């Protein structure tokens, strides 16, 4: 029987349909007449697990055609199926050595390494496949999944964005959304939210992580919308979590005791670890310590023995809150023996040592963090060596000439983090004529949208529009933008928008709101530096890093002051602590606020109580705490000149 083109076509058609037994029966009488037929026949044998005969034929082919890439490649794939992984790697590597541009072999090698859990090698192979054939979506997906397996979230986001995979590929879009959430890239997700939710309206994963990111950003209205969509797509096993999150959002939007009681009942009846951790965090932040301890106990009962160590930080936090500092330190150090590079535990150790007045030991931990920052583990920042992000602080604004006619009263509270902005906010919270926005990215995201639309000059921070009707429309757009964070912003009240590092956006915002004013909080720079080095809230780990960031921020403020003129004042944290009544009276006078009625806060139920600084400002503030940096003389013994200059400039 002679091999004909018709026989080859029949065999290839059967092969494409996955009918390997038909391939074998078709080629069996004639496969030895041509090397291609021989390879197809041997491959079909391998597909039905007749590996011995298949591999004998491939060995024969390789002997006759040692430089044939297809032989080495297909042999390698079958060796992988036979779980002869080392031999498979050799054959795929041989195919690549014969033809370094053979991208399918690179991709196959990546798949092999990934299956073996050798993700670094897999990543390298996938990257080479993409370099040879950059338009292959499958290669991009494979690299995405490989980066996901390694939890290389930042690289995953960069790869997917660079290739534009999230724009048309559902899997890539899902991985991208989760990765952005994992690295707290809230601005990125806010920008892509509409596209992602509309393009992939049937994706539970995308709506779920958009909801969690919106929650982190305090865009509670958007969070609710995404949670409701997730609920419509969810399996029954996920619905309890989503319904509880919806109750959580209801409380955040309307912080009544009734809403909090509904939420707590849900927590009490759940075995979902993620929800129980949320319950612990809420109650620990509110200093409802018995409730927090109850939820922690439930978590530990549910989790496996090996996982219980994860919650030693929670037990340490509870001991700290109770004033049991020695016990808290013991728990924390027990964990750090096994995981000495856990940044949250190291910061908790610093704060506990300070309470025990072991200042030199606390300083030693601060220095340890500074010297080992590249090797420490934190879920809060993707890159611990990058420092605090201070984009836009080089703006050089012009005097404000044209403004809108919008009459909304807004007070923007700014300052370096840990300078007392939350203290001011907590004092204003009690006034019934105040609408508090919490600490959100509302201004930053709106400003960046104006930059993208070329409404704002990013070099100066100035709005390019001069027509009043256009400015009026932009002001209304901003007020509409705020409804993502709170559905009931009352523009008849004084809107208080506190976000410490909003300096670069002030000229644009005051252009849109001619009645708006700015309150800048100052505090002794050394006290601020120490506070920043004791908390994982800002990505700064040395006094030198802090000094550079502080200088950049307040150099920007010095450029702002002549532009803002009488629409801006500075207030010292120390003055507020020494005489809060006079301080709040001066703020009222500056902002045009009357004392009005006093709000009644229901059992500390306000969402403000969830912010990191709240518990500290809600307790009695003793004057001695303002000078506690003096307990760390060696830390500031070689103080950067920049810090000394600002200390003198502020009159400290």
Statement: the pTM of the whole predicted model exceeds 0.85: no
> Mean of the per-residue pLDDT values for the chain?
90
Q: What is the mean pLDDT of residues 269-296?
A: 92
pLDDT score of 415: 96
**398: pLDDT strictly greater than 90:** yes
DSSP conformation letters of 229-252: HHHHH--HHHHHHHHHHHHHHHHH
pLDDT score of 432: 83
**94: pLDDT strictly greater than 70:** yes
Q: For the chain, which residues make up each domain, given as ranges?
A: 5-234, 271-375, 410-524+537-621
Q: What is the pLDDT of residues 623-639, one digit of tens each?
A: 555 678 899 989 988 88
Q: Give the pLDDT band (50/70/90) at residue 593.
A: confident
For the domain 410-524+537-621, what is the CATH superfamily, name and number?
P-loop containing nucleotide triphosphate hydrolases (3.40.50.300)
pLDDT score of 613: 45
CA-wise closest residue to 235 among 279, 213, 205, 258:
205
Q: Give the pLDDT band (50/70/90) at residue 615.
A: very low
Measured distance CA(215)–CA(250) in Å, rounded: 12
Question: Is domain 5-234 given the CATH code 1.25.40.10 in the classification?
Answer: yes
pLDDT score of 45: 95
Q: What is the pLDDT of residues 543-575, one digit of tens each?
A: 999 999 999 999 999 999 999 999 999 999 999
C-beta of residue 640 within 8 angstroms of C-beta of residue 547: yes
**10: pLDDT strictly greater than 90:** yes
pLDDT score of 387: 60
pLDDT score of 331: 94
CA-wise closest residue to 282 among 630, 632, 606, 649:
606
Q: What is the mean pLDDT of residues 529-543?
A: 87
Q: How would you class 338 by CB atoms within 10 Å of its CB: exposed for 0-12, middle for 13-18, buried for 19 or more?
A: exposed
pLDDT score of 303: 78
According to CATH, the topology of domain 271-375 is 1.25.40
**24: pLDDT strictly greater than 90:** yes
C-beta of residue 74 within 8 angstroms of C-beta of residue 49: no
pLDDT score of 625: 59
pLDDT score of 500: 92
Q: What is the pLDDT of residues 274-286, one digit of tens each?
A: 999 999 999 998 8
* C-alpha dihedral sign at 120, 124, 126, 130: positive
Give the ranges where 183-235 is alpha helix by DSSP (H): 186-199, 204-216, 220-233
Angle among Cα 535, 541, 543 to the nearest 5 degrees reads 110
Q: What is the pLDDT of residues 506-533, one digit of tens each?
A: 999 999 999 999 999 999 999 999 999 9
Q: Does 410-524+537-621 match 271-375 at the fold level? A: no
Least confident of 41-55, 159-173, 366-380: 366-380
H/E/C letters for each residue in 537-568? CCCCCCHHHHHHHHHHHHHHHHHHHHHHHHHE
Q: Give the pLDDT band (50/70/90) at residue 307.
A: low
Q: What is the mean pLDDT of residues 318-338?
A: 94
**In this predicted model, which residue has the larger pLDDT, 45 or 341?**
45
Share of residues in the chain with pLDDT > 70 (%): 92
Give the ranges where 383-441 is alpha helix by DSSP (H): 421-428
Q: What is the mean pLDDT of residues 107-116?
A: 97
Please state, in angstroms and as integers, the Cα–Cα distance from residue 425 to each residue in 408, 418, 420, 500, following that order: 19, 13, 9, 11
pLDDT score of 437: 81
Q: What is the mean pLDDT of residues 330-352?
A: 92
**541: pLDDT strictly greater than 90:** no
Q: What is the pLDDT of residues 415-465, one digit of tens each?
A: 999 999 988 988 888 888 888 887 888 999 999 999 999 999 999 999 999
pLDDT score of 614: 41
pLDDT score of 380: 66
């Amino acid at each position: 029987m002679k091999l004909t083109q018709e026989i080859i076509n029949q065999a290839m058609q059967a092969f494409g349909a996955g009918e390997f037994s038909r391939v074998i029966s078709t080629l069996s009488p004639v496969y030895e007449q041509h090397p291609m037929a021989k390879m197809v026949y041997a491959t079909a044998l391998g597909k039905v697990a007749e590996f011995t005969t298949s591999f004998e034929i491939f060995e024969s082919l390789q002997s006759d055609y040692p430089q044939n890439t297809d032989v080495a490649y297909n042999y390698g794939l079958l060796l992988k199926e036979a779980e002869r992984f080392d031999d498979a790697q050799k054959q795929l590597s041989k195919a690549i050595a014969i033809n370094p541009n053979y991208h399918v072999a690179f991709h196959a090698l990546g798949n092999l390494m990934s299956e073996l859990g050798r993700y670094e090698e897999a990543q390298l192979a996938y990257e080479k496949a993409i370099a040879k054939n950059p338009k292959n979506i499958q290669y991009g997906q494979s690299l995405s999944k490989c980066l996901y397996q390694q939890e290389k979230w930042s690289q995953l986001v960069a790869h997917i964005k660079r290739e534009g995979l999230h724009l048309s590929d559902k899997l890539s879009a899902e991985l991208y959304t989760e990765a952005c959430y994992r690295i707290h890239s809230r601005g990125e997700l806010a920008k892509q939210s509409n596209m992602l939710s509309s393009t992939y309206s049937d994706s539970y994963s995308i709506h779920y992580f958009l909801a969690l990111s919106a929650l982190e950003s305090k865009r509670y209205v958007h969070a609710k919308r995404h949670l409701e969509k997730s609920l419509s797509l969810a399996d029954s096993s996920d619905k309890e979590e989503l319904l509880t999150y919806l109750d959580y959002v209801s409380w955040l939007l309307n912080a009544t005791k009734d809403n909090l009681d509904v939420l707590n009942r849900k927590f009490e009846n759940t075995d979902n670890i993620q929800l129980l951790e949320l319950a612990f965090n809420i109650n620990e932040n509110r200093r409802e310590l018995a409730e927090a301890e109850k939820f922690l106990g439930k978590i530990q009962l549910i989790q496996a023995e090996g996982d219980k160590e994860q919650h030693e930080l929670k037990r340490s936090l509870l001991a700290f809150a109770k004033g049991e500092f020695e016990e808290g330190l013991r728990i924390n150090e027990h964990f750090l023996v096994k995981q000495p590079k856990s940044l949250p535990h190291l910061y908790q150790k610093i704060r506990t040592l300070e309470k025990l007045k072991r200042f030199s030991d606390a300083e030693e931990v601060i220095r340890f963090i500074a010297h080992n920052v590249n090797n420490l583990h934190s879920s809060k920042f993707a890159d611990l060596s990058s420092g605090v992000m201070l984009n836009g602080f080089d703006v050089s604004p012009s005097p404000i000439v044209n403004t809108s006619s919008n009459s909304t009263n807004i007070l923007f509270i700014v300052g370096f983090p840990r300078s007392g902005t939350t203290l001011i906010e907590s004092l204003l919270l009690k006034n019934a004529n105040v609408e508090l926005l919490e600490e959100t990215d509302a201004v930053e995201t709106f400003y960046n949208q104006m930059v993208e639309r070329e409404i704002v000059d990013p070099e100066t921070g100035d709005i390019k529009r001069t027509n009043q009707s256009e400015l009026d429309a932009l002001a209304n757009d901003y007020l509409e933008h705020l409804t993502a964070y709170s559905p009931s912003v009352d523009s008849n009240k004084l809107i208080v928008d506190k976000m410490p590092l909003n300096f670069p956006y002030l000229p644009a915002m005051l252009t849109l709101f001619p009645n708006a004013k700015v309150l800048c909080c100052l505090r002794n720079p050394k006290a601020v530096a120490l506070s920043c080095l004791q908390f994982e809230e800002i990505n700064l780990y040395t006094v030198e890093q802090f000094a550079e960031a502080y200088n950049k921020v307040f150099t920007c403020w010095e450029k702002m002051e002549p532009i803002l003129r009488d629409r801006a004042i500075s207030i010292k944290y120390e003055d507020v602590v020494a005489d809060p009544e006079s301080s709040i009276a001066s703020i009222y006078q500056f902002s045009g606020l009357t004392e009005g009625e006093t709000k009644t806060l229901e059992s500390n139920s306000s969402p403000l109580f969830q912010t990191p600084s709240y518990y500290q400002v809600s307790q009695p503030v003793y004057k001695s705490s303002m000078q506690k940096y003096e307990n760390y003389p060696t830390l500031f013994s070689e103080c950067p000149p920049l810090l000394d200059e600002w200390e003198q400039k502020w009159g400290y």
